[in-house]
């Protein structure tokens, strides 16, 4: 049997693609920005802040949790979400490693 497409790439390349795909929605970016600003949040507050339906917010939070960037804690009937600081730094370093490889911002490539 042949190789799958993901087997053609390194683990780092596959991880970066998965992360980029998870972050590639404006609602998810808005959720992350809100969590960074408030340092924790209950799901209902996100509904009020972003103006999206509860089910939509929950779906986006699940995607962010799947890459480990968001973690949740159950508090009674609510869930409080926050950025996972360890995973945040791992993702930051992963993408910084890619962007820092470009030799100069002043370089004309063409």
pTM across the whole model:
0.85
pLDDT of residue 109: 66
pLDDT digits over 48-61, tens only? Answer: 999 999 999 999 99
Q: Contact 36/73 with Cβ under 8 angstroms?
A: no
Torsion, Cα 100 68 75 53, to 10 degrees, reads: 90
Q: How far is the C-alpha of 47 from the C-alpha of 52, rounded, in Å?
A: 5
pLDDT of residue 36: 93
DSSP letter string over 63-84? HHHHTTSEEEEEETTEEEEEE-
In this predicted structure, what is the pLDDT of residue 3?
63
Whole-number percent of the chain with pLDDT over 70: 91
Residue 39 CB neighbours (<10 A): 8
For 16, the token pair is 């970066």
Give me the pLDDT at residue 40, please. Answer: 77
Average pLDDT score over the chain: 89
pLDDT tens track for 68-100 = 999 988 888 888 899 999 999 999 999 999 999
**pLDDT(39) > 90:** no
Nearest alpha-carbon partner for 86 in 60, 101, 67, 58: 67
CATH number of 9-99, picked from 1.10.10.10, 1.25.40.10, 2.30.30.280, 3.30.300.280: 1.10.10.10
């Amino acid at each position: 049997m042949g190789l799958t497409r993901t087997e053609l790439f390194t683990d780092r390349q596959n991880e970066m693609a998965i992360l980029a795909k998870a972050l590639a929605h404006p609602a998810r970016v808005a959720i992350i920005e809100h969590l960074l600003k408030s340092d924790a949040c209950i799901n209902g507050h996100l509904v009020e802040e972003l103006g999206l339906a509860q089910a939509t917010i929950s779906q986006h939070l699940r995607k962010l949790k799947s890459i480990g960037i968001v973690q949740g804690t159950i508090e009674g009937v609510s869930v409080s979400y926050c950025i996972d600081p360890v995973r945040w730094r791992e993702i930051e370093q992963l993408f910084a490693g890619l962007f820092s490889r470009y030799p100069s911002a002043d370089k004309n490539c063409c």
